[in-house]
Amino acid sequence: MAEYEVVHSKSPVFYPVYERKADLQHQTHYCPGCGHGVVHKLIAETIADLDLQDRTIFVSPVGCSVFAYYYFDVGNVQAAHGRASAVATALKRACPESIVIAYQGDGDLAAIGTAEIVHAANRGEPITVFFINNAIYGMTGGQMAPTTLVGQTTTTTPWGRRPENEGFPLRVCELLATLEAPVYIERVALSDNKNIMKARKAIRKALELQRDGAGFSLVEILSPCPTIWKMTPTEARDWVAEHMIRNFPLGVFRDRKVKMPESSRPPRRTVAEVLGLADAPAEAETPATRSADAREWKIKIAGFGGQGVLLLGQILAEMGMREGKEVSWLPSYGPEMRSGSAHCHVCLSSKRIGSPLIEHPNVLVAMNEISLRKFAPSVVPGGMILYNRRTVPADVEIPNVRVFAIPASELADQLGAAKVGNIVMLGALLELTGALSSATAETVLQGTVKNSDLLALDLQALHAGRDYVRQLPLEAR
């Protein structure tokens, strides 16, 4: 009896069991005869053969292959629609030792993601893109894709694609091959055994190039979609051969070494050096100004655009930085530059900040009534609200939150410019919280405000806010 050995079996790059619907964990979610499974197998085999499993990051797209992370036992990121090559860019730059694969369909890459793929290729990002082209939107039920053939019927071109209305099929390989930077671009097809083996070779070559740090590589794979094309799996495979290859010729469109020209690199300097703070005496770093305050401040500042809401947040963040705190500043504003609503989030902490987004602030600065009404209920018990008026509306009552009426805009107006109301608020906030020192505020203002008249006004405003709080009756503080 002859001894048999396994020559082809499930790749170890696939999970043994897929973490999906309970009864179907042993098979993929793809339709019978789908091209995705074949490409998945070719990629998995190559990753295993090249011993890259431990350092591969697979970026799945939106489309039928959105769930690729169910199958590949590698690092996985699922990108927003069309953005796989942009996400892959970030991953590769952050982790240059990783093998980063962007896997995208034609609806993803050639429609909503056209800009991302063109620019990733043009920058020569050393990633590998596998572009699965089946000439249709499969997952959403068969709408026309940019790659749909002329005359091909889809749900959105029920009488066939007409170039005079819908344009011509987009040839991505040819388009990208006009760029300088890509090193390898090839189009292959899953039309028959021979072409599948060519696809295998192309996939291997692309990943070898990335392993060797060569540059941007893309393999387009013409792939059958039997379900949406309304064909049997074998008919669909033949349709790839007869119709798709005729419109999308197979072959190597780019295979060359690309040497990036030498150019002067920006000097590697720290932020402090760039800002010219490194030479200055490190007054902000002296223990005298280093904050002893260990509390965690989550400050939300809200008002109309133009009230200096975002700037106030920036000043607070820079003050925190100068006092050696961890800081974050997250702006949020509507499309209007003025009189729209704007708010920002500032975190000041002695520990690392997990998220710059604040859902429940412990300090709310409400520069107008709308903001007060909108955000007051989100303030945590024990927190405080600074409201830009002499009195708080009678119907606003937040249990366990101290509400201070600070007429900042009014005080600023008396000083000569209502626009420094945000700085009045800063003075009040520092006095009420003790989170940061007002000396640091003066230092930051001196660095930020170049106009000496305006600086003098800002310093007056800062003191006005502080003094207003000091004259409040003690029990109100």
Q: Which residues bind another protein (CB under 8 A)?
A: 1-11, 14, 26-28, 30-38, 40-42, 44, 71, 192-193, 196-197, 200, 226, 232-234, 237
Cβ 195 to another protein shortest distance, Å: 11
- Do 72 and 44 touch, CB atoms closer than 8 A? yes
Cβ 236 to another protein shortest distance, Å: 9
- Do 39 and 132 touch, CB atoms closer than 8 A? yes
Q: Which secondary-structure segment (H or E) carries 362?
A: none
Residue whose CB is less far from another protein, 244 or 469: 244
Cβ 225 to another protein shortest distance, Å: 12
Cβ 34 to another protein shortest distance, Å: 5
Cβ 101 to another protein shortest distance, Å: 16
Alpha helices in 106-248 (DSSP H): 106-107, 114-123, 163-166, 172-176, 193-211, 226-229, 233-239, 245-247
Residue whose CB is less far from another protein, 41 or 300: 41
- Do 240 and 222 touch, CB atoms closer than 8 A? yes
Residue whose CB is less far from another protein, 237 or 343: 237
Residue whose CB is less far from another protein, 203 or 379: 203
- Do 429 and 315 touch, CB atoms closer than 8 A? no
Residue whose CB is less far from another protein, 1 or 271: 1
Q: CA–CA separation, 106 vs 136, rounded Å? A: 7
Residue whose CB is less far from another protein, 240 or 309: 240
The secondary structure of residue 295, as a DSSP letter, is P
CA atoms within 13 A on the CB side of 141: 2
Q: CA–CA separation, 306 vs 329, rounded Å? A: 18
Please identify which residue in the block is written with the tokens 């309970």: 22
Cβ 221 to another protein shortest distance, Å: 13
Determine the 3-state secondary structure of 437 from DSSP: coil
Q: CA–CA separation, 146 vs 162, rounded Å? A: 12
**Maximum CA pair distance of the chain?**
103
Residue whose CB is less far from another protein, 17 or 394: 17
Cβ 26 to another protein shortest distance, Å: 6
Residue whose CB is less far from another protein, 9 or 264: 9
- Do 142 and 157 touch, CB atoms closer than 8 A? no
Query: Hey, what amino acid is at 40?
Result: H
Cβ 197 to another protein shortest distance, Å: 7
Residue whose CB is less far from another protein, 3 or 395: 3
Q: What angle do CA 370, 372, 375 make, to 5 degrees?
A: 100
Cβ 270 to another protein shortest distance, Å: 49
Determine the 3-state secondary structure of 70 from DSSP: helix
Please identify which residue in the block is written with the tokens 């893109």: 129
φ/ψ (deg, to 5) at 157: -130, 70
3-class SS string, 405-421:
ECCHHHHHHHHCCHHHH
Cβ 12 to another protein shortest distance, Å: 11
Name the token pair of 477. 């503080």
Residue whose CB is less far from another protein, 2 or 271: 2
